[in-house]
């Protein structure tokens, strides 16, 4: 009887608003219009983002220069003994200048525009590298949009995923991110990525990396 009582109390505890937090994220990320949030304003969104990213199993670092960001990518490649990195074909990553140093380190770099079979190359890659539209401090999430130079498979198929985003693009809350797309033409695809992929579909056993990268890194630049 004691075990049954403890089990039921555990359920009550986990479903009671404000009592159970699996991470340090707020209880409710979505707030209806007109309702005031219980949480105080986030004074340092980049710092909060890194904290929440760590809470969900991701890795992050704030750097001051492109040189530091480039070294972070190289360090991840060395740690993973990577042989192939696939990246988005965007100006920010071209300016990062990481292709040459990676190739000198023995890592082949595949740029999205040069790929004939996107999925096959991304599936073989050890690391996917992209930018992000926005980051969300309260949940440690990235907002990603896809397009001709921004293939979704780069962010989904490689086991390790690295995103580089300007620190000034870190928003405080989910509603702020939604507001960025209100009243205008939506991109063809908008995704919210929060840390490494997790799935508990099979026998309620949590598996990391089942439907996406199991190792996620975010570099906040600036």
Which runs of E-coded beta strand occur in the chain?
59-63, 84-87, 108-111, 127-130, 134-136, 141-145, 160-166, 170-171, 190-194, 198-199, 207-208, 215-221
- Residue 219 binned pLDDT confidence (cut-offs 50, 70, 90): very high
Residue 114 falls inside a structural domain: yes
CA dist., res. 157 & res. 148, Å (int): 17
CA atoms within 13 A on the CB side of 193: 32
Give residue 92's pLDDT: 95
pLDDT greater at residue 182 or residue 90: 90
Residue 108 falls inside a structural domain: yes
Give residue 206's pLDDT: 47
Instruction: Using a pLDDT cut of 90, give the percent of the chain over it.
Output: 50
Residue 32 falls inside a structural domain: no
pLDDT greater at residue 189 or residue 127: 127
CA distances from 126 to 66, 78, 136 (A): 22, 11, 26
Give residue 151's pLDDT: 86
How many independent structural domains does the chain possess? Answer: 1
Residue 200 falls inside a structural domain: no
Give residue 73's pLDDT: 97
CA dist., res. 76 & res. 70, Å (int): 10
Give residue 2's pLDDT: 54
Supply the CATH number for residue 52's domain. Answer: 3.40.50.10420
Residue 144 falls inside a structural domain: yes
Give residue 101's pLDDT: 96
pLDDT by residue (tens digit) across 159-217? 999 999 999 999 999 889 888 887 777 777 888 888 775 555 555 554 444 555 889 99
Domain ranges, residue 130? 41-194+205-221
Give residue 33's pLDDT: 52
Residue 66 falls inside a structural domain: yes
Q: Is the pLDDT of residue 222 over 70?
A: yes
Tell me the two tokens of residue 25.
């994220």
From its phi and psi, is residue 187 left (phi > 0), alpha (psi between -120 and 50) or beta? beta
Average pLDDT over residues 58-70: 95
Residue 6 falls inside a structural domain: no
Give residue 207's pLDDT: 46
For the chain, the average pLDDT equals: 82
Average pLDDT over residues 35-56: 83
Residue 135 falls inside a structural domain: yes
């Amino acid at each position: 009887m004691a075990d049954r009582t403890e089990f039921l109390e555990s359920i009550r505890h986990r479903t009671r608003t404000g009592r159970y937090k699996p991470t340090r994220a707020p209880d409710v990320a979505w707030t209806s219009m007109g309702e005031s949030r219980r949480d105080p304003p986030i004074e340092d969104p980049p710092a909060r983002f890194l904290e929440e990213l760590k809470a969900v199993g991701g890795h992050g670092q704030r750097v001051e220069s492109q040189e530091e960001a480039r070294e972070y990518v190289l360090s991840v490649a060395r740690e993973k003994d990577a042989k192939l990195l696939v990246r988005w074909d965007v100006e920010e990553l071209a300016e990062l200048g990481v292709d040459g140093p990676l190739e000198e380190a023995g890592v082949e770099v595949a740029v999205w525009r040069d790929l004939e079979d996107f999925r096959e190359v991304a599936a073989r890659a050890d690391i996917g590298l992209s930018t992000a539209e926005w980051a969300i401090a309260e949940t440690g999430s990235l907002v990603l949009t896809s397009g001709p130079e921004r293939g979704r498979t780069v962010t989904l198929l490689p086991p390790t995923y690295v995103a580089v985003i300007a620190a000034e693009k870190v928003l405080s809350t989910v509603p702020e991110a939604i507001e960025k797309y209100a009243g205008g033409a939506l991109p063809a695809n908008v995704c919210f990525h929060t840390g490494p992929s997790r799935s508990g579909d099979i026998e309620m056993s949590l598996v990391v990396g089942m439907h996406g990268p199991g190792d996620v890194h975010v570099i906040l630049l600036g």
